[in-house]
Amino acid sequence: MTDLPVPDAEQTAPAPRVDSEVGPLRTVLLHRPGNELKRLTPRNNDQLLFDSIPWVDRAQDEHDAFADVLTGRGVEVMLLSDALVAALADERAHAAAAATAVDRRRIGNELADALAGYLATVDAKGLADVLMGGMTFEELPAAEGASLVRKMHHPHDFVVDPLPNLLFTRDSSVWIGDRVAIASLALPARARETALLDLVYAYHPRFRSAGRAYGASSAPVEGGDVLLLAPGVLAIGVGERTTPAGAESLARSAFADGLAHTVLAVPIAQDRATMHLDTVCTMVDRDAVVMYPAVRDTLTAYSLRMGPDGGVAVDGPAPFLEAAAAAMGIDRLRVIDTGLDPVTAEREQWDDGNNTLAVAPGVVVAYERNVETNSRLEDAGVEVLRISGSELGTGRGGPRCMSCPISRDPL
C-alpha cells in the first residue's frame, strides 16, 4: 500500500490576494488582545490611543466570538501572535526584532546593553511577548547595576513600550492584489508595529514569497485609510494619519506595480472620531457603502492616475461618490441610507457603526450596539452578523479595523 501524502494547512491555504473589500473572505489576520491591554492605565491611555481602560478578559471573550463568527463562515483566521512567533523562529528575525525593542536614546547605553543581552537569551515566544506586551523597568531581569536611568525611572515605567493597538491589524498591513503593503504608522504609540509586521511578512514561511507594495519606512499610510473599492481602484483617506505624501507615494507604487489604475485621495477631518477613512465609510456590497450621513454630501476626492511621463496625474477634487462610481465603472455607488437623526448618527459613528467587515458581498460583521445603523443595513438587504464590542471598542475600532484580509475570492 502506498501512503498518499497528507496536504498540510500551508499547502492547501489560498494564496494571499485581495482585490476588493467584499469578495468572499478566505483568510484574515486578527490579533487576539493580550497582556498589552493590561498595561493601559488612566495615566497612559490617551497616549496609547485608547479612550478608556478595557476589561481585558471580556475583550478576549468578545474577540474570540468575533473569530468564531468568521470561522463559522468558512474563513481561516490567522492570529498575529502565532505568526510573529513563527517568524521569530528564524534567528535573523529574532535578532532584528530584538533590535527594534531597544531604544538606546531613551534608556541609555548601559541599560540598552542589558536589555539587548537579555532579549538575546529568550525564545521566540518570550521575545514575542515582550515585543507585544512591553516591559517595565521592574521586569527587566538584568543584573542590578548602578544605572542612573534605572534608578531615576519609576519601576512601572516602560523599558519597552506595549503595543495595545496591535488589535487593529487593519492598520499595520494591507494586501493589494498579491502584494502586501507594510503601513508606515503615523503616531509614536504605533510606530513599532510597522517593524513587527515587516518581520512577519519577511520570515513567516507562508509569506516568504510575497512581494511588497509599499516600503515600511515610507511616508505615513495606515491601512484603515485604504479601501479597495474595486479591482484596480483604491480610495485612500488623507487626514489625521495618512499624509498627502503617503497617499501620493502609495499611488505611485501601486501604478508602477500594475496594482491600480485609479487612486482616489479623499480628504477627511483631522479628528479622533474620523482618524481613518473606514471610520466614516466601508463597503457592504460590490456597489454599496455604509456611510456616516454627516459626510455623505461633503466628502470629495482627488483622482490620481499614471501620468504620461510615469508621474502621477491629479484631477479634481470632485464629489467622492461621483469620482468613485466613475473610477469603478458603475453608474452609481449606492449609499445605504442610515437615515438617522444627527445625534444618533454621531453616536453610532463614534462606536464604529460605519466600520463593517464584509465576509462576502452583502454580508457584513458589525457591532451589535449600533442598533439603528444595523437595522437600516438590514432594511437595505444586507445581512448583518452582530458581535459585541463593549470592551474591544474602547480603542475606537470596529470589525474592519480589527481584521486584515489576506485572501479574498475574486468578485
Whole-angstrom distance, CA of residue 408 vs CA of residue 209: 18
Whole-angstrom distance, CA of residue 367 vs CA of residue 373: 10
- Write down the least CB distance from residue 369 to ligand ARG, Å: 16
Close Cβ partners of 291 (under 8 Å, ≥ 6 residues apart): 280, 281, 299, 335, 336, 338, 354
Judged by CB under 6 A, how many residues of this single chain contact ligand ARG? Answer: 15
The CA angle 397-403-409, to the nearest 5 degrees, is 140
Q: Among residues 19, 62, 171, 391, which is the contact residue for ligand ARG, using CB under 6 A?
A: 171
The residue among 54 and 395 lying less far from ligand ARG, judged by its C-beta, is 395
Indicate whether 184 belongs to the interface with ligand ARG (CB under 6 A): no
Residues within window 29-58 making contact with ligand ARG, judged by CB under 6 A: 49
Indicate whether 17 belongs to the interface with ligand ARG (CB under 6 A): no
Interface region with ligand ARG, contact rule CB under 6 A, candidates 90-98, 112-120, 251-259, 393-401: 393-401
Indicate whether 276 belongs to the interface with ligand ARG (CB under 6 A): yes
Indicate whether 275 belongs to the interface with ligand ARG (CB under 6 A): yes
The site map against ligand ARG for 150-169 (x = CB under 6 A) is ---------------x--x-
Interface region with ligand ARG, contact rule CB under 6 A, candidates 27-35, 122-130, 255-263, 276-284: 276-284
Nearest to 170 by CA among 378, 409, 365, 10: 365
Q: Among residues 24, 267, 397, 405, which is the contact residue for ligand ARG, using CB under 6 A?
A: 397
- Write down the least CB distance from residue 311 to ligand ARG, Å: 29
Catalytic residue among 29, 98, 401, 402: 401
Q: Which helix (H) or strand (E) holds 349?
A: helix 342-350
Count H helices, E strands: the chain? 15, 19
What 3-state DSSP class applies to 209? Answer: coil
What 3-state DSSP class applies to 178? Answer: coil
The residue among 94 and 400 lying less far from ligand ARG, judged by its C-beta, is 400
Q: How far is CA 274 from CA 94, 220, 247, 251, 327, in A?
A: 36, 16, 17, 22, 24
Whole-angstrom distance, CA of residue 366 vs CA of residue 351: 10
Q: Among residues 31, 94, 170, 204, which is the contact residue for ligand ARG, using CB under 6 A?
A: 170
Whole-angstrom distance, CA of residue 334 vs CA of residue 283: 10
- Write down the least CB distance from residue 294 to ligand ARG, Å: 17
Q: Among residues 279, 338, 349, 407, which is the contact residue for ligand ARG, using CB under 6 A?
A: 279
Q: Is 404 a catalytic residue?
A: no
- Write down the least CB distance from residue 168 to ligand ARG, Å: 4
Place of cell 499624509: 243
The residue among 281 and 401 lying less far from ligand ARG, judged by its C-beta, is 401
The site map against ligand ARG for 348-387 (x = CB under 6 A) is ----------------------------------------
Terminal Cα distance for the chain, rounded:
43
What 3-state DSSP class applies to 406? Answer: strand
The CA angle 77-79-85, to the nearest 5 degrees, is 140
Indicate whether 226 belongs to the interface with ligand ARG (CB under 6 A): no
Catalytic residues, by residue number, are 401
Contact set with ligand ARG (CB under 6 A): 49, 165, 168, 170-171, 190, 224, 275-276, 278-279, 395-397, 401
